[in-house]
């Protein structure tokens, strides 16, 4: 698989990332479905693996750590990304709501827990999961700097940040944020219009696209959509993708990924299927090139209206 540098760092990773959100719904699933998915991705050439502390209540990180111990030399060949900052309802107090926590104490504690579950000494890319409305950039900078100096984290990024939020945090840091992980797909074009991709281009930040196939709607169908995705209408996009796929001998999903890859910001789509055949098929995406006319044809269908 082709590779790309993440932002202004020395982390060179596969052009596609593998997302571990759903690999371990149960402990048993982590040992079977999760293990098979991780191995399929690794053998297919994925070297960037995306996690979060809350994925499968921590079981996703643990399942990945188990595979790392099993496969000789794997740790040296992969880039491990994980996230922190979301605190679930009922923790630690029963009446506690879902909230976001970028306090230095929580960031540091969360990192320690992820390191333990993954069974590694260093996380390659550590990201803040969703913007904390109470974020104090200076406090985050203290935690990030300490983790970096201790060798527990190599590089840092954010997820679901607006450009203004990323800028506020960046100004408090002495080193660059290298990623912003956001939802980008033909079903969700917000990052094209809200300044996110413009900032990524200007500041050399790598956009990582979660749900690049709109929860499966742009591929073979959705198995589990987020509430925010339930209103997506992709019928006309799918018809056009099918026509293009037949002409190229490709799958609809691989072309939907290829559409993202054409953007000059260097979007890294995060593939989240747990089915080995779909994980392997996605690797074909970089092979397919769109003309500018084809790319804009899909954009027009995604917008539901012609460009002005």
Which 3-state string (H, E, C) describes the chain?
Answer: CCEEECCCCCCEEECCEEECCCCCCCHHHHHHHHHHHHHHHHHHCCCEEECCCCHHHHHHHHHHHHHHHHCCCHHHHCEEEEEECEECCCCCCCCCCCEECCCHHHHHHHHHHHHHHHCCCCEEEEEECCCCCCCCHHHHHHHHHHHHHCCCEEEEEEECCCHHHHHHHHCCCCCCEEEEEEECECCECHHHHCCHHHHHHHHCCEEEEECCCHHHCCCCCCCCCCHHHCCCCCHHHHHHHHHHHHHHCCCHHHHHHHHHHCCCCCCEEEECCCCHHHHHHHCCHHHCCCCHHHHHHHHHHHHCCCCC
pLDDT band at 223 (very low <50, low <70, confident <90, very high): confident
pLDDT band at 92 (very low <50, low <70, confident <90, very high): confident
| % pLDDT > 70, the chain | 100
Is the pLDDT at 224 greater than 90? The verdict is no
105-152 pLDDT, tens per residue? Answer: 999 999 999 999 999 999 999 999 999 999 999 999 999 999 999 999
Tell me how far CA of residue 24 lies from CA of 33, 55, 163, 184, in angstroms: 7, 8, 32, 24
Q: What is the pLDDT of residue 287?
A: 95
pLDDT band at 8 (very low <50, low <70, confident <90, very high): very high
**Residues shown for the chain:** 308
Q: Which of 132-136, 230-234, 257-261 shows the lowest per-residue confidence on average (mean pLDDT)? A: 230-234
The two tokens of residue 60 are: 């996703």
Average pLDDT, the chain: 97
| % pLDDT > 90, the chain | 96
Q: What is the pLDDT of residue 173?
A: 98
Average pLDDT, integer, range 28-33: 94
172-215 pLDDT, tens per residue? Answer: 999 999 999 999 999 999 999 999 999 999 999 999 999 999 99
Give the separation between CA 144 and CA 123, rounded to whole angstroms: 12
Is the pLDDT at 159 greater than 90? The verdict is yes
Residues whose CB falls within 8 Å of the CB of residue 292, separated by 6 or more in sequence, listed in order: none
Catalytic residue (choose from 55, 100, 126, 232): 55
Is the pLDDT at 62 greater than 80? The verdict is yes
56 touches 25 (CB < 8 A): yes
Give the separation between CA 241 and CA 84, rounded to whole angstroms: 35
Query: Within the chain, what is the greatest distance between any pair of CA atoms?
Result: 57
Phi, psi of 212, deg, nearest 5: -70, -15
Residues 141, 97, 52: CA angle, nearest 5 degrees = 50
Paired with 12 in beta bridges are 5
Give the separation between CA 177 and CA 106, rounded to whole angstroms: 19
Is position 296 annotated as part of the catalytic site? Answer: no
Give the separation between CA 144 and CA 132, rounded to whole angstroms: 16
CA dihedral 252, 256, 257, 260 (to 10 degrees): 160
The domains of the chain, with CATH numbers, are 3-303 (3.20.20.100)
Residues whose CB falls within 8 Å of the CB of residue 10, separated by 6 or more in sequence, listed in order: none
Is the pLDDT at 24 greater than 80? The verdict is yes
Global pTM reads: 0.96
Is the pLDDT at 222 greater than 90? The verdict is no
Q: What is the pLDDT of residue 273?
A: 96
Q: What is the pLDDT of residue 221?
A: 79
């Amino acid at each position: 698989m082709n590779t790309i540098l993440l932002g202004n760092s020395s982390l060179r990773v596969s052009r596609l990332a593998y997302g571990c959100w759903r690999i371990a719904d149960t402990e048993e699933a982590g040992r079977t479905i999760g293990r098979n998915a991780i191995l399929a991705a690794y053998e297919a050439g994925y070297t960037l693996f995306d996690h979060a502390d809350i994925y499968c209540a921590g079981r996703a990180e643990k399942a990945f750590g188990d595979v790392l111990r099993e496969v000789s030399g794997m740790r040296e060949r992969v880039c491990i990304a994980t996230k922190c900052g979301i605190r679930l309802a009922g923790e630690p107090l029963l009446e506690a709501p879902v909230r976001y926590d970028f306090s230095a104490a929580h960031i540091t504690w969360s990192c320690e827990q992820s390191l333990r579950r993954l069974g590694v000494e260093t996380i390659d890319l550590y990201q803040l999961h969703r913007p904390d409305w109470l974020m104090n950039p200076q406090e985050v900078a203290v935690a990030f700097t300490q983790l970096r100096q201790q060798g527990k984290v190599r590089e840092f990024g954010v997820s679901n940040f607006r450009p203004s939020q990323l800028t506020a945090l960046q100004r408090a840091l002495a080193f660059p944020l290298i990623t912003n992980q956001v939802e980008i797909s033909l079903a969700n074009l917000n990052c094209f219009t809200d300044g996110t991709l413009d900032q990524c281009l200007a500041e050399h930040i790598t956009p990582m696209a979660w749900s690049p196939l709109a929860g499966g709607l742009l591929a073979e169908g959705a198995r589990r959509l987020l509430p925010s995705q339930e209103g997506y209408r992709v019928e006309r996009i799918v018809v056009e993708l099918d026509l293009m796929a037949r002409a190229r001998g490709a799958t609809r999903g691989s072309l939907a990924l290829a559409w993202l890859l054409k953007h000059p910001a260097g979007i890294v789509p995060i593939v989240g299927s747990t089915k080995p055949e779909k994980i392997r098929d996605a690797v074909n995406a970089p092979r397919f090139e769109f003309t500018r006319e084809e790319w804009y044809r899909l954009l027009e269908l995604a917008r539901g209206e012609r460009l002005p």
